[in-house]
């Protein structure tokens, strides 16, 4: 059960535990984390679960596939090199301590 | 489960008039019989639970679309039309065509067309308010997508009603060869030729979605032979779906005045109200997959080449997934519903579908204080779609 920390755009932090195998988006939705809308339900089709991955973690995650890269061009807030769709990050035991920031806008 | 427990067998027939008119009692029976069941009338595996439906839709290697997403198994029976290059295709072909369509219909494109779509919605709602008493289907739900979507594709104004006849046929063809299919095939007659003609480049306004498919062919992303069949996907899947999505949302709101009052008080609820209507009264009730090999669902064996029926609308009311699943609550924000599918075949037009629903409900919220039903609604039965024929309404303006 890795711990994940979400940092909201106002700086407040929210930590939660989630089981291995679910996506960061599912972990957030399950815990009612504000700012992760995930309208399409996790199919990389809406860009409303956009997060900025903590720079220390970017290289430790499996890289995005082409469909995620294309959808990242549609984010409401600026796309940065650390941008990911949280529905496409599936939690593994190695992700214990993952930190992601939630953008101010998703739509 | 006990690994030797046999799959529950049911006599339920999703395609009787009774079950098409009111599918929910049947959904309950199938859902409570087990995670998957065997439907004896058709010899198919079916699931009505969210976890299993979601799992099947997201396992495109075991559960393929290339053998058709209706009851007919294209491995053993002919398809009624040349197969769709996206809906009825698997990777790698699907990946290639999907990439082109998702770019043309992306959320970024939706931002560019938003103002036009919103202005059309406001103008239409204004006309409906002037009338006062309307048929929610023929005066509103049908008019709007038939205007904005073919405009965006780049079709002429003439003959757009053909899209309705064609959509009705395509979605009927995913069920059995019953009377509904026979009747819609009869009505369609010369329409198929009209559709194929309007998939050709000379019928498509330069710069529209249809022309952009040909531009992708010019760029070598797809072949020029593939282009018209991909335009056909716009014409078959882009209108009937949103018409009924909007119609069902009007139905949901008209029957829940308390929820409409919330929407009227806060038009920002338009998008979640549309989303909740997709969950509560799902337009596309069902889609099939086909087992590519011997595999299993929830521990029950599924033999290669078996058709698997995903009851999307039933999964969207599964109490294992949703609290109070039979209630329509516009503040629910039901992320994870499968009304638009899930996984690699999730509706490629979903950003536009949501835009259409949102701008119509926003325009209503601002302009209409109350929606009242003025008589009984009637249904148009279709093997796949939950569709209304008429929905008599009175709009009380602000």
- A54/chain B closest Cα distance in angstroms: 25
| Contact residues, chain A, for B271 at CB < 8 Å | 107
What domains sit in chain B, N to C, each tagged with a CATH number?
9-397 (1.10.630.10)
Choose the weakest-confidence range: B189-193, B208-212, B345-349, B394-398.
B189-193
Which positions in chain B touch A46 (Cβ < 8 Å)? 107, 350-351
Domains of chain A (ranges; CATH) run: 3-101 (3.10.20.30)
Question: Does the distance separating the beta carbons of A40 and B340 come in below 8 Å?
Answer: yes
Cβ-in-10-Å burial (0-12, 13-18, 19+) of A66 comes to exposed
What is the spatial distance between Cα A22 and Cα A80, in angstroms, rounded to a whole number? 24
State what percent of residues in chain B have pLDDT above 70.
99
What is the per-residue pLDDT for B189?
84
pLDDT digits (tens, 9 = 90+) for B352-390: 999 999 999 999 999 999 999 999 999 999 999 999 999
Decide if B351 and A73 are in contact by the 8 Å CB cutoff: no
Is B279 near chain A, with CB under 8 Å? no
- Determine the Cα–Cα distance for residues B65 and B97; give it in Å rounded to an integer: 14
> Which H or E run contains B369?
strand B368-373
Contact present, B119 and B360 (Cβ < 8 Å): no
- In tens, the pLDDT along B293-306 reads 999 999 999 999 99
Virtual CA dihedral for B272, B273, B279, B284, nearest 10 degrees? -110
pLDDT at A79 over 60: yes
pLDDT of residue B5: 84
- Alpha carbon of B347: minimum distance to chain A alpha carbons (Å): 9
Q: Taking 70 as the threshold, does the pLDDT of residue B269 lie above it?
A: yes
Name the minimum distance, in Å, from the CA of B83 to any CA of chain A. 24
Residue A87's nearest CA partner among A48, A58, A55 is: A48
The per-residue pLDDT for range B154-203, each reduced to its tens digit, is 999 999 999 999 999 999 999 999 999 999 999 988 899 999 999 999 99
Tokens at B377, concatenated: 């609604």
Contacts 24+ apart (CB under 8 A), B220-224: B221/B96, B221/B99, B221/B100, B222/B96, B222/B97, B222/B100
Beta-carbon contacts of residue B193 (< 8 Å; ≥ 6 apart):
none
Kindly state the tokens that stand for B79.
Answer: 């398809």
Quick check: A63 and A88 in contact, CB under 8 A? no
Task: Using the CB atoms, write b or e for B163-195: b if 16+ within 10 Å.
Answer: bbbbbbbbbbbbbbeeebbeebbeebeebbebb
The complex's ipTM works out to 0.89
Q: Do B106 and A74 make contact, defined as CB atoms within 8 angstroms? A: yes
Q: CB contact, 8 Å: A105 with chain B?
A: no
Whether B335 and chain A come into contact, CB under 8 Å, resolves to yes
Q: Do B102 and A45 touch (CB under 8 A)?
A: yes
Q: Cα separation of A29 and B171, whole Å? A: 33
A-chain residues within 8 Å CB-CB of B99? 66-67, 70
Q: Closest partner residue to A70 among B103, B337, B338, by Cβ?
A: B103
B92 touches chain A (CB under 8 A): no
Residue of B273, B240, B300 lying closest to B46 (CA atoms): B300
Q: Which chain A residues have a beta carbon less than 8 Å from that of B342? A: 41-43
| Cβ contact A70–B108 (<8 Å) | no
Q: What is the pLDDT of residues B281-296, one digit of tens each?
A: 999 999 999 999 999 9
The pLDDT score that the predictor gives to residue B80 is: 86
- The stretch B321-346 carries a mean pLDDT of 96
DSSP string computed for A8-57 = -TTS-EEEEE--TTSBHHHHHHHTT-TT---TTSSSS-S--SEEEEPHHH
A85 neighbourhood in chain B, CB within 8 Å = none
Preferred mutation among B110, B332, B335 to probe A, highest tally of A CBs within 10 A: B335
Q: Count of A–B CB contacts within 8 Å?
A: 50
pLDDT in tens, B69-84: 999 999 999 998 899 9
* Chain A residues lying within 8 Å of B344, measured CB to CB: 43
Closest partner residue to B343 (CB to CB) among A38, A43, A71 is: A43
CB contact under 8 A, B346 and A45: yes
Q: What is the average pLDDT across A8-37? A: 94
Residue A73 sits at the chain B interface (C-beta within 8 Å)? yes
Beta bridge partners of B310: B47, B287
pLDDT at B45 over 60: yes
| β pairing state of B63-64 and A98-101 | unpaired
For residue B4, what pLDDT is reported?
63
| Six-digit token string for B280 | 């509560």
Average pLDDT, rounded, for chain B: 96
The dihedrals phi and psi of B292, each to the nearest 5 degrees, come to: -80, -20
Chain B: closest CA distance from residue A89 (Å): 15
Chain B closest-CA separation from residue A28 CA (Å)? 12
In the prediction, which pLDDT does A107 show? 86
CB B177 within 8 Å of CB B70: no
d(CA B137, CA B144): 10
Q: Which residues of B113-133 are buried (b: 16+ CB within 10 A; e: fewer)?
A: beeebbebbbebbeebbeeee
Q: Is the pLDDT of residue B3 over 80?
A: no
Helix (H) or strand (E) holding B97: helix B93-104
The arithmetic mean of pLDDT across residues B237-256, rounded, is: 97
Taking alpha carbons only, the member of B217, B218, B214, B220 closest to residue B201 is: B214
Q: What tokens were used for B284?
A: 């596309």
pLDDT at res. B2: 52
> Are B356 and B148 within 8 A, CB to CB?
yes
């Amino acid at each position: 059960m890795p711990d994940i920390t979400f940092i909201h755009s106002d700086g407040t932090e929210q930590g939660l535990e989630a089981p291995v195998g679910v996506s960061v988006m599912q972990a957030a939705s399950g815990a009612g984390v504000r700012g992760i809308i995930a309208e399409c339900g996790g199919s990389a089709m809406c860009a409303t679960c956009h997060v900025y991955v903590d720079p220390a973690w970017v290289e430790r995650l499996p890289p995005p596939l082409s469909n995620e890269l294309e959808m990242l061009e549609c984010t409401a807030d600026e796309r940065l090199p650390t941008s990911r769709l949280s529905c496409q990050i599936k939690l593994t035991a190695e992700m214990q301590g993952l930190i992601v920031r939630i953008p101010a806008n998703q739509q | 489960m006990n690994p030797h427990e046999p799959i529950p067998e049911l006599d339920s027939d999703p395609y009787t008039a009774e079950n098409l008119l009111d599918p929910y009692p049947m959904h309950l029976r199938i859902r409570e019989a087990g995670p998957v069941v065997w439907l004896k009338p058709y010899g198919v595996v079916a699931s009505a639970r969210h976890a299993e439906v979601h799992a099947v839709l997201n396992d495109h290697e075991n559960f393929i679309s290339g053998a058709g997403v209706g009851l007919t198994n294209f491995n053993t029976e002919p398809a009624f039309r040349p197969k769709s290059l996206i809906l009825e295709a698997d990777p790698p072909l699907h990946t290639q065509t999907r990439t082109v369509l998702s770019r043309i219909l992306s959320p970024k494109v939706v931002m560019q067309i938003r103002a036009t779509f919103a202005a059309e919605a406001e103008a239409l709602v204004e006309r409906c308010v002037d009338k006062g008493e309307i048929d929610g289907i023929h005066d509103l739900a049908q008019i709007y997508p038939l205007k904005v979507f073919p405009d965006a594709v780049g079709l002429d104004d003439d003959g757009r009603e053909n899209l309705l006849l064609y959509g009705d046929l395509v979605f009927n063809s995913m069920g059995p060869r019953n009377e509904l299919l026979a009747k819609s095939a009869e009505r369609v007659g010369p329409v198929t030729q009209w559709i194929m003609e309007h998939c050709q480049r000379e019928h498509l306004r330069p710069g529209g979605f249809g022309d952009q498919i040909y531009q992708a062919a010019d760029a070598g992303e797809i072949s020029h032979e593939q282009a018209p069949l991909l335009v056909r996907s716009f014409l078959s899947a882009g209108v009937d779906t949103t018409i009924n999505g909007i119609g069902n949302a009007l139905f949901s709101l008209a029957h829940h005045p308390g929820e409409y009052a919330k929407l009227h008080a806060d038009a920002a609820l338009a998008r979640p109200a549309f989303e909740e209507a997709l969950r509560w009264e799902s337009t596309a009730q069902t889609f099939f997959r086909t087992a590519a090999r011997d595999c299993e669902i929830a521990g029950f064996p599924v033999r290669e080449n078996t058709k698997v029926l995903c009851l999307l609308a039933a999964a969207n009311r599964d109490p294992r997934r949703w609290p109070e699943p039979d209630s329509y609550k516009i503040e629910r924000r039901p992320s994870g519903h499968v009304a638009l599918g899930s996984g690699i075949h999730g509706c490629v037009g979903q950003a536009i579908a949501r835009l259409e629903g949102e701008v119509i409900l926003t325009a209503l919220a601002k302009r209409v204080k109350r929606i009242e039903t003025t008589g009984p609604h009637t249904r148009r039965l279709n093997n796949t779609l939950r569709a209304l024929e008429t929905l008599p309404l009175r709009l009380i303006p602000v």
